[in-house]
């Protein structure tokens, strides 16, 4: 990407009335709490990167609230009565299997709770059943009704639900910014590859400090 192109992209985001929003994806205990991830085999470096990303997400949430940027919370809510059958097939080969005990973020369980950051009263929450926050939800309609113009997408994990949500946002005509330091995967190489793909096809890559600066410029 040339510096001229990036300048034009960012200028679009900071024009008067551009209306940013922060979309936080799946920073839930089953995805972010190291105690819940022991069977995933994360290296110490991957755990450290995950911890840093969660910290950055929390900092962005605080900064968004201070800048009057709406925070939208997208969370997985697995329903035992409605198993995601194609996911069953992909992961275990049995399309008709019931939802197993290891299913993440089952509604009403502690694993579905937000981890180290959480919605404030009145902030928008969207429960999804699959990867993308836009699939089968009213997220697009809510953002448009709120007069938003572009999205910062953060959370977990970079190659899965963050990628799917950001990609759908772009396909629904939203300019998307993804801060590299406010997302992570369970493998450093996977995260690097996901960021490369996001930067190629989906989003402008940034960092938390630059995003906060963009929000402040947009508010002037």
What average pLDDT does the structure give for the chain? 96
- pLDDT for residue 101: 85
Residue 205 CA from chain centroid, whole number: 14
Going through 12-130 in order, the beta strands assigned E by DSSP cover: 20-25, 71-76, 124-128
Domain 20-219: CATH architecture, name and number where available: 3-Layer(aba) Sandwich (3.40)
Q: For residue 156, give the nearest of 35, 44, 52 by alpha carbon.
A: 52
- pLDDT for residue 82: 92
Could you report the per-residue pLDDT of 14-64, keeping only the tens digit for each? Answer: 988 889 999 999 999 999 999 999 999 999 999 999 999 999 999 999 999
- pLDDT for residue 160: 98
Dihedral (Cα; 109, 114, 118, 121), 10-degree rounding: -30
Q: For residue 124, give the nearest of 56, 198, 209, 64 by alpha carbon.
A: 64
């Amino acid at each position: 990407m040339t510096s001229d192109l990036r300048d034009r992209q960012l200028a679009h985001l900071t024009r008067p009335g551009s209306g940013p929003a922060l979309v936080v994806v799946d920073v839930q205990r089953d995805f972010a709490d190291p105690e819940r991830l022991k069977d995933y085999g994360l290296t110490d470096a991957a755990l450290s990167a995950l911890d840093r990303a969660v910290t950055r997400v929390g900092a962005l949430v605080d900064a968004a609230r201070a800048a009057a940027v709406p925070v939208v919370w997208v969370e997985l809510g697995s329903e035992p009565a409605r198993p995601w059958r194609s996911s069953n097939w992909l992961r275990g080969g049995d399309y008709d299997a019931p939802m197993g005990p290891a299913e993440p973020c089952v509604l009403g369980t502690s694993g579905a709770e937000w981890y180290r950051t959480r919605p404030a009263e009145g902030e928008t929450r969207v429960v999804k059943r699959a990867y993308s926050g836009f699939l089968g939800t009213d997220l697009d309609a809510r953002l448009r009704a709120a007069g938003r113009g572009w999205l910062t997408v953060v959370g977990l994990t970079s190659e899965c639900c963050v990628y799917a949500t950001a990609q759908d946002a772009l396909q629904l005509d939203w300019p998307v910014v993804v801060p590299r330091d406010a997302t992570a995967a369970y493998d450093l190489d996977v995260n690097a590859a996901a960021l490369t793909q996001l930067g190629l096809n989906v989003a402008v890559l940034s960092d938390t400090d630059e995003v906060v600066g963009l929000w402040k410029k947009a508010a002037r």
